[in-house]
Amino acid sequence: MPAASLPDNVLQLIEAALAEDIGTGDVTSLYFVPEAKRNTARIIAREPGIVAGIEVAVAVFHAVDRTLQVTIEKPDGARFVRGDSLLCIEGRARSLLTAERTALNFLQRLCAIATQTGKYVEAVQPHPVKILDTRKTTPGWRWLEKHAVKCGGGTNHRIGLYDMVMVKDNHLLAEDRLEDLQAAIDCVKADRQGIRVELEADTLEQVAAFLSLRGVDVILLDNMPCALLRKAVNMVQGRVMLEASGGISMDTIRDVAATGVDAISIGALTHTVRALDLSLEF
């Protein structure tokens, strides 16, 4: 993910973040750091983790000062330990200090998401189950946060409302007859070639009913205990993909993976992470 290939919305986000922080100017650096002063700085890990967003940090430094020399020492997806250097930056000291906090804000959160995802991926081994993210992302950060999930070994679910059908309980309340569901599935499949359709089931009776429909790619098993998940797996016999979701934590995920479901979606990958401890040191 070279900085030049970052999506426009991410570049705009960087611009907005810098404008928010710098405002009319970095008065501390302007008055207390000599203009000609040059330094070398590194972003150092204070705890172990997985890198995500390193090119975003590079883009922040270059947005502040194109003359800064930035060297990536740990690329996205790489694991690091306490004391490792992730990024080396050389150039004007004022520029280093002006860009510092914004670069760290991006990098600390994205590395945290990748690291948390990596822990869930490790927890389900050796079961061949995918760890999926959700749409529970920071507004405006979705592309970045879903990229971080991939850096941690996870798999992106749908990106938004436009790229996959997910018929949840509230949708079903609005259209609860199987023949109506079938007509809607047929229509969207005809209009949107290649689109995948997922239906949410709260009971085994719903699972059985959904198996009778054409064009269903995934059944979401919502908040089912492991005993019901195993029954659903036996019932489906691989005819559609099965995704488990709802209240799954690090304490329960291994048991869920052992039921034989194909995927587990976890909102906590993105909505409840603690920023990883990174610092910029001269």
Residue 155 DSSP symbol: B
Catalytic site residue 100?
no
Catalytic position from the list 55, 198, 200, 243: 200
Alpha carbons 14 and 212: distance in angstroms, whole number: 48
Catalytic site residue 101?
yes
Catalytic site residue 150?
no
Residues 58/3, Cβ–Cβ less than 8 Å: yes
Catalytic position from the list 101, 135, 231, 254: 101
Catalytic position from the list 84, 145, 198, 222: 222
3-state secondary structure (DSSP) of residue 242: strand
Give me the torsion for CA of 48, 83, 141, 249, rounded to 10°.
10
Q: E strands, the chain, where?
A: 38-45, 49-50, 69-72, 79-80, 85-92, 130-132, 165-167, 197-201, 218-222, 241-245, 263-265, 278-281
Catalytic site residue 136?
yes
Catalytic position from the list 168, 169, 186, 239: 168
Catalytic position from the list 79, 119, 135, 136: 136
Residues 6+ apart with CB under 8 A from 58: 3, 70, 72, 87
Residue 4 DSSP symbol: G
Residues labelled as active-site residues: 101, 136, 168, 200, 222
